[in-house]
Amino acid sequence: MEFFDNELSTLMPAEGRVEAIAKVTGKGKYAAEYTVPGVCYAVLVTSSIPAGTIKAIQVDKAKRATGVIDILYHQNKPVVPGFADETKIRESRVGLPVFYTDKIYFKGQPIALVVAESLEEATYAASLITADYTAEVFNVDFVKTHPSIPLKAAGKERGTVDEWSNAIHIVEAEYTIKEEVHNPMEMHATIAEWVGDNKVKLYEKTQGVNSVQRVISGLFSIPRENVEVISEFVGGGFGSGLRVWSNTLMAVMASLQVKRPVKLMLTRPQMFSLVGYRPESWQKIKLGADSSGKFSGMIHQAKHTTSVFENFNENITRIARLVYDFKNLKTESAIVPLNLGTPTWMRGPGDCTGDFAIESAIDELSYKLNEDPIALRLKNIALKNDPESGKPWSTHFIDECLEQGATKINWKNRKQTPGQVTEGDWQIGYGMAIGMWTSGRTQASASIVLDKSGTIIVRTAMTDIGTGTGTAMQNLAHESLGMPKNKIKVELGNSNLPPAPSQGGSTGLASLGGAVMDAATLLKQKLATYAAAINAQYKDAAAADILLSENGISYKQANAQFISYADLWKKVDEPTIEAEATSAPGEERQQFAFCSSAAHFCIVRVHSKTGKVKVDRMVCVADGGKIINEKPAANQVSGAAVGGIGMALMEEQQADVKFGSLLGNDLAGYHFAVNADAPIIEVSFIDKPDPNINQMGSKGLGEVGIIGCAAAIANAIYNATGKRLRNLPITPDKVLLG
Amino acid sequence: MNEQTLSRRFFLKVSGAFVALAAVPSTVHAFYQDVKSFLVPPKETLPTTLTINKQPYKVTADTRSTLLDLLREELQLTGTKKGCDHGQCGACTVHVDGQRVLSCLTLTAMLPGKTVTTIEGLADGEKLHPMQQAFIECDGFQCGYCTPGQIMSAVACVNEGHTKSVAEIKEFMSGNLCRCGAYNGIVEAIQKVAK
Ligand code: FES
Ligand code: FES
């Protein structure tokens, strides 16, 4: 087994991440970078039409190119038991039964895979493959199609619409957001290697090794433990790595077929069509308030795209039920199937989209009421209880987030009337919005191993996609054991390690942390038992009173004796002492509701002649419970805010309605925020532990950093210019025409 | 007929002959199209001598091979990352003769006699380069995938003297995309080293 490279080094500054040296020296291995003897290369050929059937594929010419080993397509592929028939395919829930269909559902769908000795050879040979199709009518036009798709109730209606139909203040408006694409910097990649015919090893880019293991073992009908998945370094995900996509399946199929290890890395253009995206959406909000600014009711309607072969619903209206205390609330939604790949969860899925519309509408209402938007929110936020379940929030500090953020950005300098502040051709404005996310937690396991030399290894199957999971594990082990950090190693991202959920939905650390702390307690109890054989005082030692150091263990009780590892190991037969623990949510979920939240504030400048928008300052104050590592946590929130700037101002994927192609299919055609697009993001935390969620008191942070950012920016643009822009991204043309 | 019997020389002769016959009647032209569609040019290699991280290398690379693929796939120097393969992201940034260069847009064949430095060659043995150290201290990354490219660009950015303000650093580092959005730490690290 290869280990997560966290070489213990005295050069490593105490505050650095556990894997920092591996990352800054280029030594850390991402999926496509492992040296696997005999590896060959796979390159994809994709469909050139958006809908229809493959009549024939011409592979002869490609077969004659140097280095080609085999070409997989629907008439030449290995047996995949999970794709044996229509029913099995449906039950597999992998979406696209790649090579097990001749149907084309979207442009860019894989139709063949060339396997060759080198990447250059495979790439060239792939260019020689052509196909004949029977084309069918297709549709990629969301804007034209969605009006004909009826809305359905999304959740139970609260109160009635009649009750507030003649509210004194009403805001009613429509909002649209163009499709966004995750585009982690590392492209999805797999090295698949079959060992015999019922064992496979995968170096895989994923956010969850156990979920890949489950899917592959199911499809190929092999025992789960025969699928080893290794993802020690993951170059970002943002949701795209939460599913097993066709590229992984193709790599596994190809390796089975050619009986050699196969490496398949998607190209950047393929990343736009094959591994999900945030769907394009339409929303309509009707928000009512009485003369005192108390919300009297809301109707929230939403539609978004899905593919023609899978129903994906990201529940855009969910956030309407979460943040404010609506006595009357009606939510409706619909999905619109189009000839595109299947969308998937992307950072703050659903809520990020829904929040933009709601927070924009509330801002609009605040101007109608001539009331400060912070005060208006504070009047209506459900601060005590979850408005949906009625359960009390375990902790909820959005009010403090608002207060801190307002002070930091000098909110008192904001003008209530828009368009008041100019600097040459620039108009300047302030905006704010809030974001929320339910703090989930799932079952996770971790183990801690101590060896004779006094080195600790903390292990879990969970991945670290850049969130600092490994560093948090080290910190938690350090805090609960007392062992110096430079003696604590981390191993993660491997399906042979204690099982853990995928890293997503802001649940990673909240789920895993408890397991690490429980394992630490168990380890200390074990050590106390061994120690008692040497010194009887240890017999009644509580785990909390045992401390580990580099050389041995001690008992916090008066004049209890220190026992060195050398002495201890005289009583131990094994080379290591190990403790494993599993932690899961429990009773507390019956009693309380859990949430993380954030308040986002910004100052923008808008150029009156060019329509350019620049974010001058961005302040994010988040409540994520207790913060385990301040720097990586702040980094995560500021990174999410950078994502929010992209969402607000530039990220947009469009499909060409005439040919069904994606217009932005590389990083020149699809823009996300570069360094110069973002100011230095100012992040701070409430940092109060939630006493009920888990042992650490930590709630998730990954999503609230982005939810609310786009609305804060759009609201600031209104404050600067008096233009209410409801369609994302707000590109210069929209500002000028607005 | 298969590709083994169709030598490069044969290909050149045949295609040369057809160029000369470009003005002949269309049936011959159609015949030429048929032959051409059957021909698949074989792989060609080119020996190249270059220096990478102070080590001399003699490689015989596919003429289509980029420096990026040479490093990652042939020499196991996987610290240089592929983020787009199109010159659009900066993840593959290395130094060639001291200048920052996108290795995905550089063919190996263009490099005889050149001196290449990659992220693996930046540290002085065990001792990290100040920029690597600064990236750790300022937490200038999350997933770490753009990081080698950011660091190579950052070193060049300091050498080029483009560090007079946050705005200037941001401008001259905007060819290196970071989807994690770790721009705060990246800027801070560069400021630290530039001092
Ligand atoms: S990989 Fe070279 S610029 Fe993106
Ligand atoms: S650190 Fe992940 S892309 Fe930059």
Residue-wise pLDDT tens digits, B98-149:
999 999 999 999 999 999 999 999 999 889 999 999 999 999 999 999 999 9
pLDDT digits (tens, 9 = 90+) for A605-638: 999 999 999 999 999 999 999 998 889 999 999 9
Look at residue B15 and tell me whether its pLDDT is greater than 80.
no
Please state the length of chain A: 738
Nearest CB partner across the interface for B147, out of A23, A35, A128: A23
Give residue A6's pLDDT: 58
Strand partners, A158: A329
**Residue A402 tokens, joined:** 């608002």
- Find out whether B83 and A186 touch, Cβ atoms under 8 Å: yes
CA A478-A532-A555 angle, to 5 degrees, is 40
Place of tokens 């992209």: A646
Look at residue A459 and tell me whether its pLDDT is greater than 90.
yes
Q: Is A536 on the interface with B (CB under 8 A)?
A: no
pLDDT digits (tens, 9 = 90+) for A164-213: 988 999 999 999 999 999 999 999 999 999 998 899 999 999 999 999 99
Look at residue A156 and tell me whether its pLDDT is greater than 80.
yes
Q: How far is CA A142 from the centre of its chain?
A: 25
**Residue A310 tokens, joined:** 């899978």
Q: Which of residues 491-530 of A touch B (CB under 8 A)?
A: none
Inter-axis angle of helices B130-137 and B147-160, nearest 10: 120
Domain A34-137+185-236+241-274 is found in CATH 3.40.109.10: no
Look at residue B12 and give its three-state secondary structure.
helix
Fold agreement (A312-319+344-352+382-438+593-737, A442-583):
yes
Amino acid at A63: K
Q: Is A667 on the interface with B (CB under 8 A)?
A: yes
Q: Which of B102, B145, B146, B176 to mutate to test the pocket of ligand 1 (most atoms within 8 A of CB)?
A: B102
Residue A67 to residue A59: CA distance in whole angstroms: 14
pLDDT digits (tens, 9 = 90+) for A526-549: 999 999 888 888 888 888 899 999
pLDDT digits (tens, 9 = 90+) for A572-586: 889 999 999 999 888
DSSP state letters, A710-736: HHHHHHHHHHHHS----EES--HHHHH
C-alpha distance from residue A668 to each of A449, A655, B183 (Å): 47, 16, 19
pLDDT digits (tens, 9 = 90+) for B153-190: 999 999 999 999 999 999 999 999 999 999 999 999 99
Look at residue B26 and tell me whether its pLDDT is greater than 80.
no
Give residue A466's pLDDT: 87
What is the Cα gyration radius of chain A? 27
Q: Cα(B144) to centroid of ligand 2, in Å? A: 5
What integer best gives the mean pLDDT of chain A? 94
C-alpha distance from residue B46 to each of A119, A173, A362, B51, B65 (Å): 16, 63, 65, 16, 10
Give residue A11's pLDDT: 45
Give residue B13's pLDDT: 54
**Residue A396 tokens, joined:** 């909820």
- H helix or E strand, kind and range, residue A576: strand A576-583
Residue A175 to residue A724: CA distance in whole angstroms: 11
- Find out whether A55 and A119 touch, Cβ atoms under 8 Å: no
- Find out whether A463 and A482 touch, Cβ atoms under 8 Å: no
pLDDT interval class at B4 (50, 70, 90) = very low
Q: Cβ atoms within 10 A of the Cβ of A418, count?
A: 17
Mean pLDDT of A510-518: 88
Cis ω for the linkage preceding B47 (within 30 of 0):
no
Task: Compute the nearest-CA separation of B26 from chain A (Å).
Answer: 24
pLDDT digits (tens, 9 = 90+) for A20-57: 999 999 999 999 999 999 999 999 999 999 999 999 99
Look at residue A119 and tell me whether its pLDDT is greater than 70.
yes
- Find out whether A535 and A560 touch, Cβ atoms under 8 Å: yes
Mean pLDDT of A288-305: 97
Place of tokens 């007929």: B1
Mean pLDDT of A665-692: 96
Q: CB distance A676–B179 less than 8 Å?
A: no
H-state helical runs in A485-585: 508-532, 565-568
Task: Compute the nearest-CA separation of A588 from chain B (Å).
Answer: 32
Amino acid at A45: V
Give residue A701's pLDDT: 85
Beta strands A456-459 and A444-451 are antiparallel
CA quadruple A243, A246, A252, A256: dihedral sign: positive
Q: What is the DSSP letter of A676?
A: G
Q: Cα(A508) to centroid of ligand 1, in Å? A: 30
Look at residue A501 and tell me whether its pLDDT is greater than 60.
yes
Mean pLDDT of A98-107: 97
Q: Cβ atoms within 10 A of the Cβ of A294, count?
A: 14
CA A468-A471-A474 angle, to 5 degrees, is 150
Task: Compute the nearest-CA separation of A639 from chain B (Å).
Answer: 4
Q: CB distance A24–B128 less than 8 Å?
A: yes
Strand partners, A727: A176
Give residue B20's pLDDT: 53
Residue A87 to residue A215: CA distance in whole angstroms: 16
Beta strands B93-96 and A68-73 are unpaired
Give residue A511's pLDDT: 82
Nearest CB partner across the interface for B83, out of A33, A185, A468: A185
Mean pLDDT of B29-38: 74
Residues of B in contact with A267 (CB under 8 A): 85
pLDDT digits (tens, 9 = 90+) for A250-261: 999 999 999 999
Q: Is A675 on the interface with B (CB under 8 A)?
A: yes
pLDDT interval class at B24 (50, 70, 90) = low
Place of tokens 């004796």: A561
For the entire predicted model, the pTM comes to 0.94
Mean pLDDT of A268-279: 97
Q: Which of B84, B100, B118 to mutate to test the pocket of ligand 1 (most atoms within 8 A of CB)?
A: B84
Look at residue A3 and tell me whether its pLDDT is greater than 50.
no
Q: Is A121 on the interface with B (CB under 8 A)?
A: yes
Nearest residue in A to B71, CA atom: A33
Q: Cβ atoms within 10 A of the Cβ of A298, count?
A: 25
Q: In what order do the strands lie in the sheet with A295-307?
A: A152-153, A329-338, A295-307, A281-289, A169-177, A727-728
Look at residue A392 and tell me whether its pLDDT is greater than 60.
yes
Top-tier CATH class for A442-583: alpha beta
ipTM: 0.95
Inter-axis angle of helices B147-160 and B183-194, nearest 10: 40
Nearest CB partner across the interface for B43, out of A67, A267, A678: A67
Look at residue A510 and give its three-state secondary structure.
helix
Q: Cβ atoms within 10 A of the Cβ of A737, count?
A: 9
H-state helical runs in chain B: 8-20, 26-38, 67-69, 130-137, 147-160, 166-172, 183-194
Nearest to A23 by CA among A6, A2, A44: A6
- Find out whether A151 and A330 touch, Cβ atoms under 8 Å: no
pLDDT digits (tens, 9 = 90+) for B62-92: 999 999 999 999 999 999 999 999 999 999 9
- Find out whether A66 and B43 touch, Cβ atoms under 8 Å: yes
DSSP state letters, B113-140: T-EEE-GGGTSBTTBPPHHHHHHHHTT-
> Does B100 contact ligand 1 (Cβ within 6 A)?
no
- Find out whether A201 and A230 touch, Cβ atoms under 8 Å: yes
Residues of B in contact with A9 (CB under 8 A): 126
pLDDT interval class at A506 (50, 70, 90) = low
Q: Which of B71, B78, B88, B94 to mutate to test the pocket of ligand 1 (most atoms within 8 A of CB)?
A: B88
- H helix or E strand, kind and range, residue A488: strand A488-491
Q: How far is CA B62 from the centre of its chain?
A: 14
Domain A312-319+344-352+382-438+593-737 is found in CATH 3.30.365.10: yes
| Domain range annotation of chain A | 34-137+185-236+241-274, 312-319+344-352+382-438+593-737, 442-583
Look at residue B5 and tell me whether its pLDDT is greater than 60.
no
Look at residue A314 and tell me whether its pLDDT is greater than 70.
yes
Give residue A21's pLDDT: 94
Residues of A in contact with B72 (CB under 8 A): 32-33
